[in-house]
Amino acid sequence: MVLKRKLFFLLLTLVCAKSQTISDSLNAFTIDLLAATSRENGSPRNLALSPYTVWTLLSIIDEGAKDNTAKQLETVLRIPDASGKSAFRNNFRNLSNIVSAKDSGVNLDIYNSIFTRKDQTLKTEYRDVVRTNYDVNVQPIDFDNQDVASATINKYIAQATKNRITNFINPDDLAYASVFIVSALYFKGAWMQPFNPNQTRPDTFYDEKQNKLGEVDMMYQMNPFAYARLEWIRGYSVELPYGEGDKMSMILILPYKDQTVQGMLQLMTQEPFSKIINKLEKAAIDFEGDDVQVYLPRFKIESDLTLNAILQKMGVTDVFDEANANLLGMFEHFLYVTRLIQRAEIEVNEEGTVASAASGASVINKMPPPKFVANRPFLYFLVNKPTKSIMFAGKMTVPSKVAS
């Protein structure tokens, strides 16, 4: 009987997802994962998720997968099989370069690393592919000394997240591990139009049946934002840009009163997310300069998720199965994934750059400006604008004090 060594994966994200484009593939996976996670029994009522890092990590694993293991990954990730890998790798490099480009007021850093046993190396072809195309840093460490190995990985994670997360794993987490893969994302952005803290007021937050759940600190501003009704999912959307407004933005989606967050997510799986982005872009042109009143609660969400069961229900099963996993393109030894973990955090508040303080007078429309009032469950998406790619996503359904 062949003994398969355990393979641990850590997914870590932090924030202060006809032929498809690579962004379409990423976004479709994002909505599927968000919908599946929301449906899962015991799923947090408030959710922070970085589908981009899940998608990236599984794409890296797919490079070493074979047979049905690879087929399942490629189907769920919506990426090509071996015959189309060359073009996909080129597209992935281009996507990574664009989303990592620096912008005033926006900090987005992505880190991918593979830690391997000192005495057992990755296959040369696999190592070269992931280094060249996924910017993966390969580091040999002594897994037999679990204290030293865990300290090394924790130091790497702390540096990647600007010391926001330390001591993430314990030595026992590395028992029997041959490979440990990390994908980390750190985002910090200043609003292009910050909220004035003096305008923040306590307000009531409701559930989807209009029952009062508790109070939130409701931020407010009125400025020209892209705003649109999304009739095909029965929701309202508004886009709040970060920095200079060219790189990153937050898209908020609020269901109509006869709709639910889960109902919107189910309908969103049937259409490309770019349809929402295109609708907002058209609204920005058609209603240029028109103000929108935005009421958004200040919120902080932390999620600590094990994604095995969710991904299995989505169709990724063999990679978690000791008997069926085929990752022989990665390593000489038989491997399978024992755990796929993600810790994610997002904090949304009034802060922005001083230069973009909203202190000027507004031109009043002839018609009262539309209101986007997020005083009930809503979805949020952090989007890279040049590629129209979702980098981070989640939902808020209860005030933070109720969630805790």
In whole angstroms, what is the distance from residue 364 CA to residue 362 CA? 6
- Angle at CA of residue 403, ends 398 and 404, nearest 5°: 160
pLDDT for the residue numbered 402 = 55
Residue 321: φ, ψ to 5°: -105, 115
Q: Which CATH class is domain 5-189+300-346?
A: alpha beta
Residue 48 C-beta-side C-alpha neighbours within 13 Å:
23
pLDDT (tens digit, 0 to 9) for every residue of the chain, 404 residues total? 444 444 545 555 554 433 358 999 999 999 999 999 998 877 788 988 888 888 998 999 999 999 999 999 999 999 999 999 999 999 999 999 888 887 777 877 777 888 887 777 788 998 999 999 998 888 888 888 889 988 998 888 888 878 877 777 788 877 777 777 777 777 778 899 999 898 999 999 999 999 999 999 999 999 999 999 999 999 999 999 998 878 889 999 999 999 999 999 999 999 999 999 999 999 999 998 899 999 999 988 888 888 889 999 999 999 888 889 898 998 887 887 877 777 777 888 887 322 212 222 223 334 567 899 999 999 999 999 999 999 999 999 998 765 54
- Beta strands 371-373 and 106-117 are unpaired
Residue 266 CB burial class (10 angstroms; 0-12, 13-18, ≥19):
middle
Q: Are the C-beta atoms of 280 and 251 separated by less than 8 Å? A: yes
Instruction: Find out whether 273 and 34 touch, Cβ atoms under 8 Å.
Output: no
Element (H, E) at 267: helix 261-268
Domain 197-297+351-394 belongs in CATH node 2.60.40.10 = no
Contact predicate 265/51, CB 8 Å: no
Q: Minimal CA–CA distance to 13: which of 340, 243, 389?
A: 340
pTM (global) more than 0.85: yes
- The tokens for 403 are 């969630």
- Are the beta carbons of 302 and 345 closer than 8 angstroms? yes
The neighbouring-strand residues paired with 228 are 237
- Which residue ranges make up each domain of the chain? 5-189+300-346, 197-297+351-394
Residues 6+ apart with CB under 8 A from 394: 34, 46, 47, 48, 49, 301, 303, 344, 346, 379, 380
pLDDT value for 34: 94
> In the β-sheet with 389-396, what is the strand arrangement from edge to edge?
47-49, 389-396, 378-384, 248-255, 235-241, 226-230
- pLDDT value at residue 29: 95
